[in-house]
Amino acid sequence: MPSVSSRPREFLSLAALFGAALLVSACEEPATPPAAAGPPPVTVAKPLQKEIREWDEYTGRFEAVAEVELRARVSGYLQSIHFTDGETVSKGDLLFVIDPRPFERALEQAQAEESQAETRLEFAKREVKRAQPLLERQTISEQVYDERLKEQREAESGLKAAEARRRSAELDVEFTEVRAPMDGRASRHLVSIGNYVTGGSASGTLLTTIVSLDPIHFYFDVSERAHLKYVRLARSGARPSSREAANPVFLSLKDEPTFTHKGKMDFIDNRLDAATGTMRGRALFNNRDGVFAPGMFARIRLLGSGKYEALMLPDPAIGTDQSNRFVYIVDDKGKVAYRPVRLGPLIDGLRVVREGVGADDWVIVSGTQRARTGGTVSPKRSTIASPADAPGRTATTQP
C-alpha cells in the first residue's frame, strides 16, 4: 500500500506531462482552411432531331388459316389407321379406313340392278321399234303403241334411278377411306381400331383434326381509343388504313427480345366487341420453318403514326416528380431550370419528347442527381448519338 508521502510526487509528474503537451500544441502551425467547392460537373446535349414513325405493341395469339374436323361419312367399324399422331400430312394422304366390305356388297348389288335396268330399256326400245310399222298398217291400235312407249319411258327412268344408286354406292365405298382434305398437321387419333363409328351427318364420329401451318394468322385486339386513332390517321392521310392496305407488322415470340418476324395486316373486324370494347385485328405471317403454332402467344407491333420530325432524349435525362416527368435545362451561364415534359414512345433506345423542350435547349443528360433548380452547374456539352434505324425490331410504345 503506497504511503501518504508518495502521492504529491504523482501529482507533480502528471502536471509536468500536461504542461509539455500544451507547449507542443502551441508550437504547431495553424491548419489551412478548406478551399470553396465549385459548381458540380454535368453533361448536357441538345435533343436529337429525327424523322420517325411510332409503333404500337399488342399481345395476341396464332390461329390456323384453316382447320378441319375429320369426321366419318359412313358408319362402320374402324379397320386401320395410316398416320402417326401429330404428323404433318399432305392433301390426299390416307388416314383412316372403315371396313369397306358391306359397302362393296351394296355396290355390287347396285351395279346388278343397273344392268337389269339397261336390259329392260333395250327391250322396251325394240318393242316400240317393232310397233311403229304395225301401227302404220293399222295392225295394232294406237293404245297398244302408247303402252309400249310408256314402258320405254319407264325403263329409261328406271335406268337413271339404278345409275344414281350405283353412284351413291360408289361414294360410300370411297368414303370408307378417310383422306386428308388439305396440307397440315394432324392431331392425335380420337378413335381406336375396332371401334364402331357413325357417319353421314354433322354429328358423325370425330376421328381427328387437321390445322394448316403455312401461312398462319395472328389475332389481336385493340382498344376503342386506339381504333379511333387509326381511323383519324387514315382520314388525314398520315397512315393508310389496314382495311385498305397491307400495313407491315413485326412480331416477337416469348423467348425473343426483338421483333424480327415480318408480316402484314390482312383483316379488321366490322364492329367492336360490346363486351370488351375492343376491335379484332388479324395479321398474316409466313411459317415455312414451322416455328409458329396455333394457340401460341406473341407480341406484335404495327404502325401507330405517320412519319414526323421528333425530339428525342435518353431516358436517364428524364426525372420523375410524383406523377410528373421533367428534365433540367441549362442556360449559357450554367443556371439550372426545371422543365416539365410530356413524353411519347421509346424508339431505338431514345424517348420521344412531345412537349416541354425545344430543339435548341441544352438538357442535362448525365449528372442529373447533382443538379438543383435555380442552382449553377459546370456543363460539358455533348451530342446524342443517332440510333440504328430499325423500328420494327426495337420500337416500343410503352410510356
pLDDT in tens, 246-266: 999 999 999 888 898 999 999
Q: Return all residues near 324 (Cβ < 8 A) that are at least 6 apart.
A: 340
pLDDT interval class at 203 (50, 70, 90): confident
pLDDT interval class at 31 (50, 70, 90): low
Question: Is a pLDDT exceeding 50 seen at residue 294?
Answer: yes
Q: Could you tell me if residue 73 is inside a domain?
A: no
The whole-chain average pLDDT of the chain stands at 85
Q: What is the pLDDT of residue 179?
A: 94
Question: Is a pLDDT exceeding 60 seen at residue 97?
Answer: yes
Average pLDDT over residues 137-164: 86
CATH code assigned at 235: 2.40.30.170
Q: Are 320 and 390 part of one and the same domain?
A: yes
Which range of residues forms the domain containing residue 341? 43-50+307-394
Q: Are 169 and 250 part of one and the same domain?
A: no
The least confident of 92-96, 144-148, 211-215, 263-267 is 144-148
Q: What is the pLDDT of residue 125?
A: 87
Please give the residue that has the higher pLDDT: either 312 or 10: 312
Q: Residue for cell digits 398437321?
A: 185
Q: Are 284 and 345 part of one and the same domain?
A: no
Q: Are 291 and 314 part of one and the same domain?
A: no
Percent of the chain with pLDDT over 70: 87
pLDDT interval class at 23 (50, 70, 90): very low
Q: Could you tell me if residue 105 is inside a domain?
A: yes
Please give the tally of structural domains in the chain.
3
Query: For the chain, how are helix, strand and coil distributed in percent, rounded to 5?
Result: 30, 35, 35
Q: Are 339 and 263 part of one and the same domain?
A: no
CATH code assigned at 370: 2.40.420.20
Structural domain ending residue among the three candidates 303, 329, 348: 303
Can you read off the three cell numbers belonging to residue 48?
Answer: 436529337
Ordered alpha helix ranges (H), the chain: 7-27, 101-136, 142-175, 224-236, 391-394
Helix (H) or strand (E) segment spanning residue 188: none
Q: What is the pLDDT of residue 357?
A: 92
Q: What is the pLDDT of residue 36?
A: 53
Structural domain ending residue among the three candidates 118, 147, 175: 175
pLDDT interval class at 207 (50, 70, 90): very high
pLDDT interval class at 388 (50, 70, 90): low
Average pLDDT over residues 15-32: 48
Structural domain ending residue among the three candidates 303, 320, 345: 303
Q: Are 218 and 264 part of one and the same domain?
A: yes
What is the distance in angstroms between the CA of the first residue and the CA of the last residue of the chain? Answer: 85
The least confident of 19-23, 166-170, 230-234, 377-381 is 19-23
CATH code assigned at 118: 1.10.287.470
pLDDT interval class at 127 (50, 70, 90): confident
Q: Are 321 and 283 part of one and the same domain?
A: no
Burial of 142 (0-12, 13-18, 19+ CB in 10 A): exposed
Question: Is a pLDDT exceeding 70 seen at residue 18?
Answer: no
Average pLDDT over residues 168-186: 93
Angle among Cα 81, 63, 287 to the nearest 5 degrees reads 85
